[in-house]
A and B are shown apart, each in its own frame.
Chain A
Amino acid sequence: MKTFLENLKKELTKLGFNEETIAEILNDHKEMMQLALDEGLEESKITEKFGDPEKIAKELKDIEPDSKNKNNEYKLIKSFDQETINKFFIKLISEDLKLEISNSNQFEIYGKRVKLNKYNIEVESECLTIEKKNEKTFGLFSFSSGSAKFIIKVPHDKTLKEIDYKATSGDFEFSNLTSENLKIKNVSGDIEAKTIKATNFYIKTVSGDVELKQSEIKELTISIVSGDIDMDLVVIIENLKINSVSGDTNINSCESKEFIYNSVSGDFEAKEYYPKNANLKSVTGDIEFKNKDKDKNINVVSKKTLRGEIKI
């Protein structure tokens, strides 16, 4: 065991692993080997059972982010002139996506661990499409070290007509963005948006969380099953509609004209939120407004709850 661990240490050092990682890997092997020896494995059979230290080190090297693995850095995939794009159509599976401000007047698409032959990335009729090709590959073959990530850099001050985003488990994060229409559909990925200006903003997700901050939106609709909603400093000019099954909703310092809330078992809590009109419906979830200004009135058009509590 001693020789094995020494060799493993030597190989790991050779491949540039840091000390902490080496110690951890050696510890793990020590633990496994001791158990094997306790069960009666002969010292001489250690390599046979645990493999060749050189091979183990190489195998581990591929998955260490601290090693110089080129796949772990963002690379520019394509760039397009600012005038050529008005819409985004994005259809992904498990890839994370982030929208950022570009330093140039171009749209730039960056990818990390992206296998380009698996995606359609093109611009047609002013629409940028990033789409995972529909193929019958299956996870077992596409074994890779981690799921892919995309960044789209959007030129500063660019107003988009539409963003249509669909994904299964990838997270979607965007900030400093202006778009007339925003349609986001996700299953388990989280959605995080900050400083957004939009006319119509529609979010639908099953178990992903939604976080929205410092934004100005004309119409906002959120439909969610078990994910939580967090809203902070969002000005909604017209209506805010929230449909939630079991997720909790937290609203802090937001504004809207109408507020329509429907929930089964999720709880709702608002601080400093004074919608003009409110329609509140919940089966067992609680609804509570913790507003400081008692003079500002919320006109409750309707409220219904079976077992929950409504406090305003």
Chain B
Amino acid sequence: MNSQFKRGIIELCVLSELAMEDMYGYMIINNISQHLDVNENTIYPILRRLTKEEYFTTYLQESSNGPPRKYYKITNKGFNYYLKLRDDWDEFIGGVYEILNKGGKKHEDILRKFKERTN
């Protein structure tokens, strides 16, 4: 997949994770990589960039085992940005599905239509 596109989607996922609760870096990486095939090195720069943009703030919190962890917390600005990005995404993906579904929703549909047309 186009890496710019993928980065944008991961950015949306990172925002969504942090919209739910404050998390430390590795937790975000883990949560996202459970669902998507992401290389960890794409997430850290996003965290850093969105923190620079004041969409996130960070704080250190002691953990029961091991050294303190850096938690990321979404700001109001970040939350508004998330809502906007999510709207954009819904609109985009909705449009994509409207196009795709014209040709049928399932493989069988698509295949049947294709056969009908080419036979």
Chains A and B belong together in one complex: yes
A260 within 8 A of B: no
A31 touching B40 by the CB < 8 A rule? Answer: no
Q: In the docked arrangement, what's the CA distance between A161 and B61, Å?
A: 55
> Least Cβ distance of B106 to chain A in Å?
27
**B12 at the A interface (CB under 8 A):** yes
Which residues of the partner chain B approach A55 to less than 8 Å between Cβ atoms? 41
The listed residue (A38, A51, A143) touching B40 by CB distance below 8 A is A51
Q: Are A56 and B45 CB-contacts (below 8 A) given A31-B69, A35-B26, A38-B66? A: yes
Give a binary string over A55-86; 1 marks a CB under 8 Å from any B CB, 0 the rest.
Answer: 11001101101000000000000000000000
Q: Report the separation of the CA atoms of residues A79 and B90 in the bound assembly, to the nearest whole angstrom.
A: 39
Residue-wise, chain A 2-30 has the 8 Å CB interface mask toward B (1 for contact) of: 00000000000000000000000101110
The answer on a CB contact under 8 Å between B5 and A56 is no
**Residues of B contacting A312 in the complex (Cβ-Cβ under 8 angstroms):** none
B41 and A139 form a contact (CB under 8 A):
no
Contact with B along A34-63 (1 / 0, CB 8 A): 111010000000000111100110011011
**Of A25, A32, A50, most B-chain CB atoms within 10 Å:** A32
Contact in complex: B85, A139 (CB < 8 Å): yes
B5, B48, B53, B69 interface centre (most CB from chain A within 10 Å): B48
| Bound-state Cα–Cα, A14 to B17, Å | 33
Find chain A residues with CB under 8 A from B7 CB: 143
Nearest CB in chain A to that of B66: its residue: A34
Nearest neighbor of B9 in chain A, beta-carbon distance: A140
Interface pair A140/B12, CB less than 8 Å apart: yes
Contact, CB under 8 Å: B88 / A140: yes
B103 within 8 Å of A (CB atoms): no
Known: A28-B70, A34-B66, A49-B40. A140 touches B89 (CB 8 A): yes
Q: CB distance B26 to A140 under 8 Å?
A: no
Q: How many of chain B's residues touch chain A, expressed as a range?
A: 20 to 34
- The reply on B113 being an interface residue by CB < 8 A is no
Within 8 A of A (CB), among B1-27: 4-5, 7-9, 11-12, 24-26
A297 at the interface (CB under 8 A from B): no
Minimum CB–CB distance for A205 against chain B, Å:
14
Q: Is A145 an interface residue (CB 8 A)?
A: yes
The distance from the CB of B6 to the nearest CB of chain A, in whole angstroms, is 10
A31 pairs with B67, CB closer than 8 A? yes
B114 at the interface (CB under 8 A from A): no
Is B91 in contact with chain A by the CB < 8 A criterion? yes
Q: Which residues of the other chain, A, contact B67 by a CB distance below 8 angstroms? A: 31, 34
Within 8 A of A (CB), among B48-99: 48-49, 52-53, 66-67, 69-70, 77, 80, 84-85, 88-89, 91-92
B24 touching A31 by the CB < 8 A rule? yes
Q: Are B84 and A139 in contact (CB under 8 A)?
A: yes
Set of chain B residues within 8 Å of A139, measured between Cβ atoms: 8, 84-85, 88-89
Contacts of A62 in B (CB 8 A): 45
Q: How far is the CA of A31 from the CA of B72 in the complex (A)?
A: 13
Chain A residues closer than 8 Å to B92, beta-carbon distance: 138, 140
Given contacts A28-B48, A139-B89, A141-B8, 17 further A-B contacts (CB under 8 A): A28-B44, A28-B70, A32-B26, A34-B66, A34-B67, A35-B66, A50-B41, A51-B40, A55-B41, A59-B45, A60-B44, A60-B48, A63-B48, A138-B88, A140-B9, A140-B85, A141-B5
